[in-house]
Amino acid sequence: MSLSLQESCKMYERTCRRQKAIPTFAAFNTEKFTCLPSNEAVESDFKSSVLKARKAYGMPVTRRLPSLYHKLSGISRPTVQIPAAVVSSSEKSFVYDNEKYEGAMKMSIRPPACPDEGELKEDDLTMEEYVAMVEQSPLKEAKGLIVHLVPQKRGEPLSSLSCKLTKKTWEALRGKKDIPVKMKDGSELDLKTLQLNVDDVRNFVKSRKRKEDGPYFIRFSRI
């Protein structure tokens, strides 16, 4: 299933922020199954903004950039697009079983309850803002093996929503085991009290299967 325009833009922006080569829209669509439309003016303008930010601040780029999604969709309100840090990972203990995973997803994970970007309220928290907060925090794990649960509202401590990616955590997040998850602040979180974003969980599992870099971010809402 192809990604939406907003998801495609976010993925492209994250890639441009943290890797040296800036792919064309067409090449990125082919590689990542995104749906970035052909627009030479927007593509050239965004590339120029990334290169200027690199020259001024280095890599990865963490400063505010013009929103690619807003430019391609015609929305004028700007938003911050800041990616997660990348750390190489090569754990062999996590094995992806598509049939079992899909069954667990149907039983244990409900549809997302996140507001649309155009309907955000003052105390709402976007994924990009949360990623930026994590980037500035000391929450790190070797090989990027850490999962951050992203709330809808501001105010919760980052350490109470972050957990090391262990085998138990892997099983719990996929809904295969009904066990609490130990968070970085020492508390235990019962996932039955949350609604995890289905797409985020699916992308998290696919990233682990492909041995892609962490950390990982999963949005949720309280039940």
Contacts by residues 179-182 (CB-CB < 8 Å, ≥ 24 positions apart) = none
> What tokens appear for 127 in the block?
């994924």
Whether 206 has a pLDDT exceeding 70, the answer reads: yes
> What tokens appear for 21 in the block?
């080569």
**CA–CA distance, 167 with 186 (Å, rounded to integer):** 17
* Residue-averaged pLDDT of the chain: 80
Where along the chain do its domains lie? 5-73, 98-222
| Banded pLDDT at 25 (limits 50, 70, 90) | very high
Whether 76 has a pLDDT exceeding 90, the answer reads: no
Q: Are 89 and 143 in contact (CB under 8 A)?
A: yes
Query: The whole model's pTM is what?
Result: 0.48
Whether 132 has a pLDDT exceeding 50, the answer reads: yes
Taking alpha carbons only, the member of 179, 220, 208, 219 closest to residue 98 is 208
**CB-based contacts of 50, cutoff 8 Å, min separation 6:** 16, 17, 22, 61, 65
| Banded pLDDT at 78 (limits 50, 70, 90) | very low
44: Cα separation from own chain's centroid: 25
Whether 31 has a pLDDT exceeding 60, the answer reads: yes
Arithmetic mean of pLDDT, 110-132: 63
118: Cα separation from own chain's centroid: 19
How much is the pLDDT for 185?
93
Which comes out higher in pLDDT, residue 170 or 54? 170
pLDDT 10s digits, 156-188: 899 999 999 999 999 999 989 899 999 999 999
Q: Are 185 and 157 in contact (CB under 8 A)?
A: yes
Helix 198-209 with 98-108: angle, nearest 10 deg: 160
Percent of the chain with pLDDT over 70: 77
Which comes out higher in pLDDT, residue 163 or 115? 163
How much is the pLDDT for 63?
79
| Banded pLDDT at 143 (limits 50, 70, 90) | confident
Q: Is 133 exposed, middle or buried (0-12, 13-18, 19+ CB in 10 A)?
A: middle
| Banded pLDDT at 111 (limits 50, 70, 90) | very low
